[in-house]
Amino acid sequence: MTPALLGLLFAACAAPPEGMIWVEGREFTMGSTHADAPENERPAHHVKLDGFWIDATEVTNAQFKSFVEATGYVTLAEKEVDWEELKKQVPPGTPKPPTEMLKAGSMVFTPPKPDARININDVGGWWAWTTGANWKHPEGPDSSIDDRMDHPVVHVAFEDVLAYAKWAGKRLPTEAEWELAARGGLASKKYMWGDEPANEDAPRCNIWQGSFPAKNTLKDGYLRTSPVRAFPPNGYGLYGMAGNVWEWCSDYYRADAYKKLASGGKVLVNPTGPPDSWDPNEEIPATPKHIIRGGSFLCHITYCESYRPGARRGLTPDTGMSHTGFRCVKDREGP
């Protein structure tokens, strides 16, 4: 019996890890082939991966609570900001912020008033640093997750998700693993479900409906996060791979990663991403970014159509936001 056949037999016979789905290893086309795709999603290139287990859903508030109760873990958003670390990420000479701005907190989506004048290029119009915002209080100290235990945990920084994954005996997916899983068996399609654009009258995932960012018609039923199984799964049985919350991956983010990785024309085998990070939109060098994938409840075709399987973005590891979560993967055990 060949090793490959033996591996398939083991995967079929072994009891699956609770809440996880097996994604069989294969070769696939990674990246976007569509003419309107952003530059950082091109060129499409061939990747070959070994099989892996992946969480069927994003990690929920209930699951993260179990981790915190078992370990006493404190997330980054629950700690006061270290100015000595923060000033490394801002232009030299930037004055120290007021003490209030250095208290524990996180970035929260704060929609502007419907009649407000909006500069779509200024994200400060709908994001606000909120003291007391963290995974237990997604919109600030007066909010709660008591009725959102089946929603994805948010306000988790990169170090937080690594800690959870280690405790759970898992790891974060590579960018390639995430995309293979998100495609659900559909090759080179623009969206997780095919090539048809999102339909606001028949929502397929939790994204923005109406006019972003001031008016959400709530046709999908949610202004912010939704339960992790609120929408149908993809072809692999995975929920929430489009919209709801961005998901951390292990790779560093480079805007030109695909150009560099695909330049040799060879099939990339189990790629783990570039050795460093680069974002041309940054005016000064910043803390290296990691990949986030899948888009969020804030995505809209007129602003951020990132609920596509090829969409990719970078986020600094110390950043927790009210639309960022994660799911984990696990390697096959045994032969």
C-alpha angle 51-186-207 in degrees, rounded to nearest 5: 105
Please report the pLDDT score of residue 6 as a whole number.
Answer: 47
pLDDT at 147: 98
Residues with Cβ within 8 Å of 231's Cβ and at least 6 positions away in sequence, in order, are: 203, 204, 205, 206, 239, 240, 243
Q: Indicate whether 309 pLDDT > 80.
A: yes
Q: Residue 177: CB partners within 8 Å, gap ≥ 6?
A: 23, 49, 52, 54, 249, 329
Q: pLDDT by residue (tens digit) across 155-170?
A: 999 999 999 999 999 9
Strand order in the sheet with 312-315: 312-315, 290-293, 246-252, 324-325
pLDDT at residue 116 in the model: 80
pLDDT of residue 3: 42
In the predicted structure, residue 75 carries a pLDDT above the cut 60 = yes
Please provide the size of the chain in residues: 335
Each residue's pLDDT tens digit, 9-53: 544 556 789 999 999 999 999 999 888 899 999 999 999 999 999
| 23 strand-pairing partners | 52
Closest CA to 50 of 8, 103, 102: 8
Q: What is the pLDDT of residue 4?
A: 47
Taking alpha carbons only, the member of 46, 58, 5 closest to residue 180 is 46
CA 4 to chain centre: 31
Integer angstrom CA distances of residue 47 from 50, 195, 197, 235, 278: 10, 22, 26, 20, 22
Q: What is the pLDDT of residue 213?
A: 93
Listed in sequence order, the residues at least 6 apart from 251 whose beta carbon sits closer than 8 Å to its beta carbon are: 174, 175, 257, 272, 273, 274, 290, 291
In sequence order, what E strands does 122-226 have? 127-131, 210-211, 215-216
Select from 310, 4, 299, 296 the least CA-distant residue to 154: 296
- What are the tens digits of pLDDT across the range 189-220? 999 999 999 998 899 999 999 999 999 999 99
The HSE-up count of residue 173 (CA atoms within 13 Å, CB side) is 30
Looking at this protein, which amino acid is placed at residue 155?
Answer: H
CB 105 within 8 A of CB 77: yes
Are 297 and 208 a contacting pair, CB within 8 Å? yes
Tokens matching residue 184: 């659900």
Query: In this predicted structure, what is the pLDDT of residue 298?
Result: 97
Q: What b-and-e string marks burial along 80-117, b requiring 16 or more CB atoms within 10 Å of the CB?
A: ebeeeebeeeeeeeeeeeeeeeeebbbbbbbbeeeeee
Question: How many C-beta atoms surround the C-beta of residue 11 within 10 A?
Answer: 19
3: helix, strand or coil: helix
pLDDT digits (tens, 9 = 90+) for 259-294: 988 777 899 999 999 999 999 988 666 689 999 999
Model confidence pLDDT, tens digit, residues 114-159: 878 888 888 888 999 999 999 999 999 999 999 999 999 999 999 9
Average confidence (pLDDT) over 50-76: 98
* Average pLDDT rounded to a whole number, residues 104-112: 94
